[in-house]
Structure 1
Amino acid sequence: MGEHMENRFDHYWYTDIREIVTLKDMLAGSADKYAKNPAFWVKRKKGQPYSPISYRLLQHDVNAIGTCMTEMGWQGKRIAVMGQGCYEWIVTYLAVMNGIGIIVPIDKELSGPEIENLLRTAECDTIFCTKAECSKLKGLPSIRNLVVMDFYGDRLDEEEVPDDSNLNLEKYEGWFEQEEEKKVNVTSWREMLRDGDQLLKSGKDEYLKAEVDPDALAVILFTSGTTGTPKGVMLSHRNITVNIMDVCRIAHVTTTDKTLSILPIHHTYECTLGMLLVLYRGASTAFCEGMKYITQNMKEAQNTVIIVVPRVLEMINDRIQKGIEKSGKADTFQNIMGMNKKLRKMGINLSRTIFKGIRNELGGKLRLVITGAAALSPTIYRNFEDLGITVLQGFGMTECTPLISGTPMSAPKERYRKAGSVGVPVKTGEVKIINKDENGIGEILFRGPNVMMGYYNMPEATAEVLEEDGWLHTGDLGFMDNEGWIYLTGRKKNIIVTKTGENVYVEEIEEYINQSPYIEDSMVFPYDNNGEEIVGVQILPNMEYVRTKLGYEPDREELKDLYKKVIQELNQGMAVYKRIRAVFVRKDDFVRTTTRKIKRHENPVPED
């Protein structure tokens, strides 16, 4: 049996939970309760300060975009949204979800062919895209409607819609075949906002009255297979809203909190926890201008909360340590840190006072960090806690919308909230561990109302991970301590997790590169590059093709150089985080099963 944690961890949960079943409920409730509060912080131009957009204006803009879509006859459509995290992205997401059809978020790092594959699979001919990423859409045959969005210049009051003349829509129209049956309609987000605003003023209310089924398909999120057979996770409003409420039981976010949105917005981690949860709580979000602007934007936004992957925390920690060393006060700092730890053990916590100067380099108001998607070093966890910044770790997956477990914010601080654990299961879910070894380590299974509806049009793949009684095989290995806290020890499934938290599915990469006539077979694997897990590959060359192509038998060095070039070319067809960075050429065939499958753990990296 699974271990249902509803009673076991009741003393941890925050109880000020507003019941919601759809995101339409959520937005209406928040717009009513927090009408004049800032929902988002945006910049008119690069370099300018952040300015607020209120909850009232947010709801109006969602209704305006939704009303324009309704007038255009887009009800029931699958609509893609892609690009840098920005106000226009999230308004589009909510507008589609709350009365139009099914939203299909797409990774802006994907290549054109990968994007086309997802659009075709989702039967999607309409895409909203930020202008910086639009060039990837050139000539894609699935597109019939392109709506161009902008990161800068959002309006800040109901009377002003920013100018969109800088978008040069004619340029985008020239990217597509314009035969009548293939004509692509190109418009701007702001033009749709203006039209929708006028329609609302004229009394058009069809979108406002649209009913939302909490259990119907609302989102298709592609997690893998972008170069082969796409695997789309199907989510409903209830999946998302249940998880929002569960996370709010674990982490206490208030109306005065402000986050800085850093992570890719198409990820369910950033979208659910970094956007929707914040809106549910009446808090606000500022949009980061890019990875290199993180610390600068933190100072400008003065955010109190940040939701990140471990790599971002590592970058911030390195910056802090280098600053201390540069000041020449490293020994003094260590002495103060040691004294502070002793005081904390006595129940006296002066961290916020003692290390105020360091926190000022991070904007001065940061109090809470939520991290997930990859393993966080316990040392870095403790470093931030010692500075007076609460760190909560989570474990989840797209198939669970995403949170499975998390560190309760109310857990005892003097024990660093069990650094190294990914916390306890969410209130509405249950966990069990199967096929345990002698140390109690086995595969983690999860069941709860946040588990996906299944993979889009892939019943066999769904059945492989989702049992009839609702148990989802996470593919992660771990154990639970005697208090019910979860610890991860590895992965059962063949996934490489990059330092930025991106999942790379090895079978997908193998399927893609094995199409090359140069490659007889391949095995993609995580390669340790000085502590960083990168994508590596072992290649079994197709020597007959190589000899025919070259006209002679190459020596060992020539062969290695050849395959590095082959992989470099193949890499251009994949997103940057999926690209193969370590190439090894085999002299002999792989060790295989009797059915000719490669035994992944019995094929070490070949020696030269």
Structure 2
Amino acid sequence: MSSNGIFQHTACNKSHHSYEEKLQSSSEHLSPGLMTDLREEGKEQVMDNETPEKKCVEEVLEGVSLAPAHCLWTTEANGSVRLRIDELCPQEPITVHQMFMTSVQKYGNLFALATKRNDKWEKITFSEYYHLSRMAAKSFLKLGLERFHSVAILGFNSEEWFLSAVGAVFAGGLMTGIYATNSPEACLYVASDSRANVIVVENQKQLDKILQIKDNLTHLKAIVQYSGPLQKKMPNLYSWEEFMGFGVDISDKSLDDIIDSQKANQCCVLIYTSGTTGMPKGVMLSHDNITWTARHASQAGDMQPAEVKQETIVSYLPLSHIAGQIYDLWTGIQWGELVYFAQPDALKGSLITTLREASPSSHMGVPRVWEKIMEKIKEEISHSAYMKKKLVTWAMSVILDANQRSTKDEEKSFVFTLADSLVMEKLRAELGFSRCQKFFSGAAPIGSDTMQFFLGLNIWIYEVYGMSESAGPHFMSGPKACKLLSCGKVVPGCRCKLANIDADGIGEVCFWGRNVFMGYLNMEDKTMEALGEDGWLRSGDLAKMDEEGFLYITGRIKELIITAGGENIPPLPIEQAVKREIPIISNAMLIGDKRKFLSILLTLKCVTNPETMEPTDNLSLEAVEYCQQLGSQARNVSDIIGGRDKVVNHAIQEGIDRVNAKATSNAQRIQKWTILRKEFSGSGGELGPTMKLRRPIVLKMYQSEIETFYRE
């Protein structure tokens, strides 16, 4: 047994020896180290010994009502788990309702949610938010929501999305988000697997998907549409207004009885993985996973409770993904934040308008969002008058140099202060960041060029690293702990270790803490694969850690390229190096698994159709300027592909050569490359909902181009 483990797989088997039974029944929630020590002593009377940790656990659990549990994991929707309470995270476990009630008592009169209707921001308080969530819960019960069945929500972020989510939990159901970009078939999988009794859809477009599959959903009882008029009356289809009135005859006592029956170690949220490496998995998160993470992860990011200063954020990231959900929804309740909802076309251009109006105090983005903002700023700078362009370039150079040489809070020079106040304050205000103090990036690694660009604007982007299975962040950078290109340090109260460390100090990142999930719904083999015999969550990510505890991701085990010669090559560092050396490249995907040499697929930066979000043939302004600097007149992707523009193709080869010159071995050199006809995109299928590269799909889509590399 690992010295860091708490229970082996046999801990879930009821046929233990008497000592093991007594050990587990007497101390359900001991930490990994203490549990190991107790086993090694092998004495039944050890449970009578006083240890600071045991005393801490007993004090926490005194009077706390938890559902009976025999294991750290479960795969059943109505199952319960042992909580990982120890001296690092001894806080009393609470349910989502208890968290919300505490916030209502503290922040009841503060505004909680802001929605723009008819060009005017309408706000509701935390007291109103709580009351409306109870109304939604009663209506779900009236529609027949059963305990531990799901309410599936399909649509863009909104007040109704939040009320449906909280209401589903209050009513004893499982809140389940479905990506708005999902196909009808993908919606069918999630709704069926989660046994959805009710599906809440945004509009007619999303409703049409459900109508195509509803006959195959055996548990479905009702559909609710929260935006736009119902175009056709159908049985069991309701508008939001109709829905919110259904629960009037459900008594408060009936709802309270259900709320009171909920335990912190039971499931309340399902997060479905994006399915980039197989069928989506339903990540089961307990009340304790949600409430503990909402409190402690946000503390690591220096989010302030409303009694100190009310934080303001803009909600626009997919709420079906853990990053958006924990940051917008649950942390918002925990700390009394004011959440502004962006418009559905946020990523088509309206996000900046919302940011200017909301003036958030913190902002979360995935790397592709930050890249798009960067490209927009570069485009506007290039269109500026000569003197303004020179002034901005000078200011960015001064600020970047100063920030790279010091930490965020170190005192800066007069020239730095002048550049920031004279130039950058105005630029940040134009972006809607005049009041923003904290900027976060998560869901995928962010490029160093993007980090450095924003550093030149005096915007420090703090990386957040975690998984759906860790209820979001397990490592965080923040104002008090930040190193460029690092994911930060482990969230206080959580543990981490690197497994199978190689000669370079690189190993698999493993997680332990109150944020670690309950298990995958109905998937025992996958659950055991993720948690192993010792209960540590295996991330599948490779990383190294410096002497101060800062984590640096180097790749992903499943993405490792093992060449025909047997060399293991993580693709991410090479791909990022190519993008750094060749500014015209938007995406790079390394190829070479079981092959004799490496090759790479490249896409060029291009203009995106604002309506369809599909990449066009037109090169971006930055790409056009790059070509012009080389002496090329190319303005379209089609002008360059297939070796048509010798100048640009030569420059790309030179960039590849520079990357190869830094390779640690011949096997890590890129031998062949090609430019694809279009940029990777979500609509094209190459990128997932959070703009993460879907490597298996790209391999299938561009199989013919790849095979061309390796023909004799």
Tell me the TM-score normalized by structure 2: 0.63
Percent of aligned positions that are identical = 25
In the alignment, is residue 83 of structure 1 matched against residue 151 of structure 2?
no
CA distance in 1, matches of 2:277, 2:232: 30
Deviates more, 1:434-443 or 1:324-333: 324-333
Kindly provide the amino acid, as one letter, of the partner of residue 192 in structure 1: F
Report if aligned partners of 1:261, 1:306 keep a CA contact under 8 Å in 2.
Answer: no
CA distance in 2, matches of 1:407, 1:41: 28
Q: CA deviation at 1:231?
A: 1.8
- Secondary structure class of the residue paired with 2:196: coil
Residue aligning to 2:337: 283
In the alignment, is residue 529 of structure 1 matched against residue 603 of structure 2?
yes
Residue aligning to 1:60: 131
Report if aligned partners of 1:584, 1:605 keep a CA contact under 8 Å in 2.
Answer: no
Residue aligning to 1:369: 439
Q: CA deviation at 1:299?
A: 1.6
Choose from 301, 314, 337 the match for 1:251: 301
CA distance in 1, matches of 2:470, 2:435: 31
CA distance in 1, matches of 2:487, 2:394: 30
CA distance in 2, matches of 1:168, 1:573: 34
Q: CA deviation at 1:123?
A: 2.4
* TM-superposition CA deviations, 1:35-67 (whole Å, max 9, x none): 12111110224xx13221211111010011112
Residue aligning to 1:347: 411
* TM-superposition CA deviations, 1:110-133 (whole Å, max 9, x none): 111121122222222421111141
In the alignment, is residue 29 of structure 1 matched against residue 111 of structure 2?
no
Report if aligned partners of 1:31, 1:55 keep a CA contact under 8 Å in 2.
Answer: yes
Residue aligning to 1:38: 111
Distance change in 2, residues 1:587/1:435 (3 Å): closer
Distance change in 2, residues 1:475/1:605 (3 Å): farther
Q: CA deviation at 1:98?
A: 2.1
- Secondary structure class of the residue paired with 1:205: helix
Distance change in 2, residues 1:54/1:360 (3 Å): same
CA distance in 1, matches of 2:146, 2:420: 51
CA distance in 2, matches of 1:574, 1:139: 25
- Secondary structure class of the residue paired with 1:365: coil
Choose from 468, 483, 493 the match for 2:558: 493
Residue aligning to 1:297: 354
CA distance in 1, matches of 2:186, 2:242: 29
Report if aligned partners of 1:448, 1:470 keep a CA contact under 8 Å in 2.
Answer: no
Kindly provide the amino acid, as one letter, of the partner of residue 312 in structure 1: V
In the alignment, is residue 187 of structure 1 matched against residue 238 of structure 2?
yes
Report if aligned partners of 2:155, 2:179 keep a CA contact under 8 Å in 1.
Answer: yes
* TM-superposition CA deviations, 1:474-518 (whole Å, max 9, x none): 00011000111100001102499999xxxxxx9xxxxxxxxxxxx
Q: Compute the RMSD of aligned alpha carbons.
A: 3.6
CA distance in 2, matches of 1:527, 1:274: 36
- Secondary structure class of the residue paired with 1:374: coil
* TM-superposition CA deviations, 1:294-339 (whole Å, max 9, x none): 1122122222221110111111122222222322233322333344
Kindly provide the amino acid, as one letter, of the partner of residue 191 in structure 1: E
Report if aligned partners of 2:154, 2:177 keep a CA contact under 8 Å in 1.
Answer: yes
- Secondary structure class of the residue paired with 2:112: strand
- Secondary structure class of the residue paired with 2:97: helix
In the alignment, is residue 425 of structure 1 matched against residue 490 of structure 2?
yes
Distance change in 2, residues 1:436/1:376 (3 Å): same
Kindly provide the amino acid, as one letter, of the partner of residue 466 in structure 2: G
CA distance in 2, matches of 1:526, 1:280: 45
Residue aligning to 2:521: 456
Choose from 382, 396, 412 the match for 1:325: 382
CA distance in 2, matches of 1:449, 1:319: 40
Residue aligning to 1:443: 508
Q: CA deviation at 1:356?
A: 1.4
Q: CA deviation at 1:24?
A: 0.8
- Secondary structure class of the residue paired with 1:234: strand
CA distance in 2, matches of 1:571, 1:25: 43
CA distance in 2, matches of 1:75, 1:125: 7
Residue aligning to 2:328: 274
Deviates more, 1:417-426 or 1:297-306: 297-306
CA distance in 2, matches of 1:572, 1:445: 30
Report if aligned partners of 2:184, 2:209 keep a CA contact under 8 Å in 1.
Answer: yes
CA distance in 2, matches of 1:146, 1:573: 34
Kindly provide the amino acid, as one letter, of the partner of residue 543 in structure 2: G
- Secondary structure class of the residue paired with 2:484: coil
Tell me the TM-score normalized by structure 1: 0.73
- Secondary structure class of the residue paired with 1:43: strand
Higher helix share: 2
CA distance in 2, matches of 1:284, 1:430: 31
Distance change in 2, residues 1:458/1:299 (3 Å): same
Kindly provide the amino acid, as one letter, of the partner of residue 193 in structure 1: M
Choose from 358, 366, 374 the match for 1:309: 366
Distance change in 2, residues 1:90/1:332 (3 Å): same
Structure 2: runs of 5+ lacking an equivalent = 6-30, 32-87, 561-570, 577-588, 590-598, 607-676, 678-682
In the alignment, is residue 396 of structure 1 matched against residue 466 of structure 2?
yes
Structure having greater relative contact order (Cα 8 Å, sep ≥ 6):
1
Structure 1: runs of 5+ lacking an equivalent = 5-14, 152-163, 174-183, 412-416, 500-505, 507-524, 533-563, 565-569, 589-603
Count of aligned pairs between the two proteins = 488
- Secondary structure class of the residue paired with 1:493: helix
